[in-house]
Amino acid sequence: MTGETRLRELICTLARSMFDRGLTSGSTGNISARTGDGGLLVTPTGSSFGRLDPARLARFDATGRQVEGDKPTKEMPLHAAFYDTRSTAGAVVHLHSCHSVALSMLPDVDPDNFLPPLTPYAIMQLGRVKLLPIFLPGDPAMGAAVHGLAGKRTAVMLANHGPVVAGKDVEAACNAIEELEATARLALLTRGLGRRLLPHAHIRAGATHPGVDGDPRHSRPPWALSGPTGRCPTRSEPPARRVSTLSNATGPMARPQPRWPGPWTKPVCPCWA
């Protein structure tokens, strides 16, 4: 069995496991994962996590061109944004999980820190989770919103929609998004009960844990990178936002090329090239 065959089987196995445990339903949710040659495997649009066929996963080569498989998820701009801005991303998982979506609907959640610090594991695997506005499914603006975070977050929560998590590989991304959903469930169960949050020292210790998928271009973890200025941590000026598009950039706008070339994004801020 080749490495790609094993990856195809693993994507479908993990997806089926999440489906069977009610973490997503119907034809919702999508997964992408890097292949050994720099390409991507992506779950098809309209497919159910409970009935994925490894042979029908969409396959992209290293240039972003689809070379086989079914039509990919319509959330490709969202996935591409994580690959473009996070060099460590080896997989991206998006679910429509019930408790995290319910928590995103409440009026008093912190948009910069969606999950309250209830357990060390969410902090160790996710860092701070950014709550993004409501977007229609497939809206390319979701990718633009992730680009605007300049790689500082490993996970985001799409309001009234679902979580999206990038990880070093597909197992890490699935584990992290399950931790996000479990923490959201805890937040709802303990809401209004005078719950005891983690001490600040434990929060900071968890944020420096290797499980927090910080980008190696920075020496500080994602928790420390967030701040009120929104500035790029390696430059004195704010990072340029990338704008999603349905066609590849050409001419002067074509450089520097995105880390994941494809028909979904324009070039990244020079400090992320």
Active site residue 171: no
Q: Which of 20, 40, 127 is nearest to 83 (CA)?
A: 40
Catalytic residue among 4, 121, 171, 178: 121
Q: Residues 245, 264: contact at Cβ < 8 Å?
A: yes
CA distance 39 to 205: 35
> CA–CA separation, 261 vs 259, rounded Å?
6
Residue 72 backbone phi and psi in degrees, to 5:
-75, 170
Q: Which of 75, 178, 179, 181 is catalytic?
A: 75
CB 148 within 8 A of CB 81: no
* Chain Cα centroid distance, residue 148: 13
Q: Where would I find the beta strands (DSSP E) of 22-169? A: 30-34, 40-42, 58-60, 66-68, 91-94, 130-132, 155-158, 162-167
Does 179 participate in catalysis according to the annotation? Answer: no
User: Which residues are annotated as catalytic?
Assistant: 75, 121
